Amino acid sequence: MADLKGRVAVVTGAARGIGAATAQRLAADGAAVAVLDLDPAAAEPTVSAITQAGGKAIAVGADVSDEDAVNSALERVADELGPVGVLINNAGVTRDNLLFKMSTQDWDTVMGVHLRGAFLCSRAAQKYMVEQKWGKIVNTSSVSALGNRGQANYSAAKAGLQGFTRTLAIELGPFGINVNAVAPGFIATEMTDATAKRLGLEPEKLREETAKVTPLRRVGAPQDIANVVSFLCSEDASFVTGQTIYVDGGRKL
């Protein structure tokens, strides 16, 4: 378990799914957590779960692809909780389609949230981390970075995040900042439920089918990702940087 007492964490896209589980895990590790999402009201259940468990959290509304909104959000976090030391770039969307049917808008939306969003949040957060000579950034890639039919936009963004991770690790390492990525496989969330619907399947059916082709014979839960994020933010991982850890039940093997 990471010891994050006295640290401030920002988790983007934390209203639900992997982000919500990660926010709760980092709060259990001792961090004060900014639960950032598009709609601050949607982030309230995560905040309540943290405070009811004895932790500290605030809801912060921001679109991670909006430069002014990101800068204001990080300033607000510094005012209300303290300077950010942990940033989890988790917010994500899918706009799947085969290349010949993919609209420019759907390409730009996915790039905007995943790549521009991680860039804007990391740039805004690093100044606080450099001042503290301590920081942890974890980006959220995906097994789709290796290629996935119907996801030219998403796989390009998730592969891009791996290069972004390595470069930030080089630039920020001298300031005591670790930068890593997690690459989830199939995790049961609203995102994968939406994928099931697009494929004309019940979510439970897609989970069963996916479990059958996964070496560990199950799909992932949001906590599976939160656990690895917590490890990457811990002292035990203090010599790990620039890495992408696949958390996929062996799916990409």
Binding residues for ligand NAP (CB under 6 A)? 12-13, 15-19, 37-39, 42, 63-65, 90-93, 113, 117, 140, 142, 184, 186-187, 189-192
Q: Tell me the C-alpha distance between 10 and 20, whole Å.
A: 11
Residues 84 and 32: beta-carbon distance below 8 Å: no
List 107, 119, 128, 154, catalytic entry: 154
- Looking at this protein, which amino acid is placed at residue 138? V
Q: How far is the CB of 191 from ligand NAP (least distance, A)?
A: 3
Whichever of 90 and 178 has its CB closer to ligand NAP, that residue is 90
Shorter beta-carbon distance to ligand NAP: residue 39 or 68: 39
Which residues are paired to 19 by β-bridges?
none
CB of 138 to ligand NAP, least distance (A): 11
CB 64 within 8 A of CB 88: no
Nearer residue to ligand NAP within complex by CB, 37 or 96? 37
3-class SS at 233?
coil
Between 132 and 218, name the residue whose CB sits nearer to ligand NAP. 218
**Minimum distance from residue 194 beta carbon to ligand NAP (Å):** 7
**Separation in Å, CA 19 to CA 94, 113, 149:** 15, 14, 25
178-217 burial by CB neighbour count: b if 16+ within 10 A, else e? bbbbbbbbbbbbebbbebbeeeeeebeebbeebeeebeee
Minimum Å gap between C-beta 250 and ligand NAP is 15
Closer to ligand NAP by Cβ: residue 63 or 106: 63
| Active-site residue flag, 246 | no
User: Considering only CA atoms, which of 211, 196, 193 is closest in space to residue 249?
Assistant: 211
| The residue to which tokens 């070496």 are assigned | 215
Compute the Cα dihedral for 87, 89, 44, 224 and give only its sign.
negative
CB of 208 to ligand NAP, least distance (A): 15
Nearest to 36 by CA among 11, 56, 2: 11
**Closest distance of CB 10 from ligand NAP, Å:** 11
Of 163 and 173, which has the nearer Cβ to ligand NAP?
A: 163
CA 205 to CA 84: how far, in whole Å? 41
Active site members: 154
